Amino acid sequence: MEKRNIGKIWRWWLFSLAFSLASCGGGGGDSGGGGGGETTAREWTYMVYMGADNNLSSSGKDDIAEMAAVGSTSGVAIVVQAEFSSQYTPTLPTDTRRMLIQKGVDNIAAGTSIGNVNMADPAQLTAFIKWAQQAYPAKRYALVIWDHGAGWKMSSGSTRRSLERGAVQDETSNSFMSLPDLAKAVRDSGVHFDLVNFDACLMAMYEVAYEFKGLADYLVFSEETEPGEGDPYDTILAALTANPTQSARTLAGTIVDKYDDYYTTNNRGATTKSAVDMSQMAALDTKVLALSAALRADAGATALVQAARTATQEYAYPSNHDLYDLCKYLVDRLPAGAAKDRCNEVMTIINSLVVNNKINDAGKVGGSHGLAIYLPTSDEAKSGDLDKYALLACNKTRAAATGTWGSYVDYLLSGAGSVTYASGGFALYLHWKKPNDAACNADLDLYIWEPAADFAVSGNGNWYAPWMGQSSPNGFFSQDSADSGESKEFYLAKSQVYPGDYQFVVNYYGDGASCSQARAHLELFDPADQQWHELNSQYVGFPMDSPSPQIMDLSNSYTSGCSDDDLACYDPYSDWWAPDVVYQARSAGSGPSVATGNLPHRGKKSQMIFRFGKGMGIFSR
């Protein structure tokens, strides 16, 4: 994203509870809201619904440029409805625009304004689909849902400071589109899609696929979080326009292949992408229902399923487990009987339903077979999650006696309390210049260690950073400075977070074209007083060994010798800065604080992925 000077404006916006209401408008002409459609049907109309009024705004601009590198042809119409964020891309229009993507054109500027609509309103998605079909009729239709994603989960917040993701997020309107709303919008359009592609995180789930049963022939999505760059539209659309008569199955496979090709070449961590044949979704659903009934009837299976929740492939949301990997784990351990047979049947149908599945970084996502399912531990079941889960089509459209996967999850969690959350709302802002106060384009990275849900017992957690993506289990990041071109990065914690210690570390990753030394500043937004504070001795109230600012460069770079859980060991090196404080998010009843003293040693699952450079970690779309 393009991150303008954050300063007072950004800080005011980030924590303000005020928001402006979206207004609806209309547009005319074939590139806008009305007018007559084309008389000759093309082979494909490729619709992209781009909800970029959030921290993915710059990525949206980049993706439109990728589309324009190919452009619409006589066989393929590429049509977009997009809205951008004035906070992250202040040079772009703030109204909602519709456009036919053409090669060699500033498509955003040329697009037709339809006012500033709420992109998270299902009616707006319905209207876009209807307009695109009428203006650009085709033999086949594809729809891309472009935005943040969170699988089946819905937003729990009502203010800007609670930025949990739905299927489409519109920050100006302070709203989101849930999974049921998303499916309803497609259903209400009356258009049956040959292909629906989620260019969003964590959407490759049984629950998502069932919600779209009957609405599309093929779904394409990712079990894991997606990098901020998302789909490589230039290569995908080049393949489509070169062979516009290709089938939906071929295009679905192409999207998976091109996505994998891009991230294999531009490796920034673990990625997944899969395509499923929706004609087999009803068969899978039947097998999942039979599996849930068999597992519930087998008393000996319960302990195995509970163990599987920590032993099978999981993702950025650890309650999401690869369905095939889960069944394989059980098949390898269950005795002969109905439960084992039902697991084998689920594995067989997944092998048929998933028509293409690609992973990158097998060490992290090697158990991914294309479709995940919700299987939380009690600590991962946030308050209200199960009530919302029950509202999904896969859980509410059957007779109660039939049983659903949701009812089995309830059974597993019966009597178990959900995880305790702590107050969040804090933020970190890293910015840097040369020591002489001139601009510095060196590449610095802000890392945040977040505690896991079971931190109080295990001390476990994981590292996250903007280069890994724009979200983490407990917060949100700016774009990586190397991508944005800005000498700043920030982290915003959600309003509720896992309780425990939040550690922050800065790495001077590489020199810039005109900068080989940086003076780095790290500021903390303290929700207790709603003020920004530089992390120095004056703020924390004791003499810090490593206060802000710090001079950083590659003159004394770390090579080896530090243990994975000893952050203080890295601090003497010129390319690492570990401030000797942690932010403690405490459970309800006690406020957060900045703790002093020695840096904590981390649990076994907190190994420092950053010491290996930008080649590991999760990504977020």
Q: Given the DSSP bridges, would you call strands 496-497 and 422-423 parallel, antiparallel or unpaired?
A: antiparallel
In this predicted structure, what is the pLDDT of residue 163? 27
Q: What is the percent of the chain where pLDDT is above 90?
A: 46
Question: What CATH class is the domain 7-33+41-282?
Answer: alpha beta
Burial of 563 (0-12, 13-18, 19+ CB in 10 A): exposed
Cβ proximity of 458 and 600 under 8 Å: no
Does residue 209 or residue 462 have the better pLDDT? 209
Q: Which of 366-370, 394-398, 448-452, 516-520 has the lowest mean pLDDT?
A: 394-398
Q: Given the DSSP bridges, would you call strands 76-84 and 42-52 parallel, antiparallel or unpaired?
A: parallel
pLDDT-based confidence at residue 416 (cuts at 50, 70, 90):
very low
In this predicted structure, what is the pLDDT of residue 619? 25
DSSP helix/strand/coil, 556: coil
Does residue 61 or residue 4 have the better pLDDT? 61
In this predicted structure, what is the pLDDT of residue 11? 29
The DSSP code for 300 is T
CATH 3.40.50.11970 range(s) for the chain read: 7-33+41-282
* Architecture (CATH level 2) of domain 422-612: Sandwich (2.60)
The DSSP code for 404 is -
In this predicted structure, what is the pLDDT of residue 201? 83
Give the CA distances from residue 470 to residues 44, 166, 263, 298, 466, in Å, rounded to whole numbers and listed in that order: 32, 15, 17, 42, 6
Cβ proximity of 482 and 465 under 8 Å: no
pLDDT-based confidence at residue 15 (cuts at 50, 70, 90):
very low
Q: Which of 110-119, 324-333, 554-563 has the lowest mean pLDDT?
A: 554-563
Q: pLDDT tens digit string along 483-493?
A: 889 999 999 98
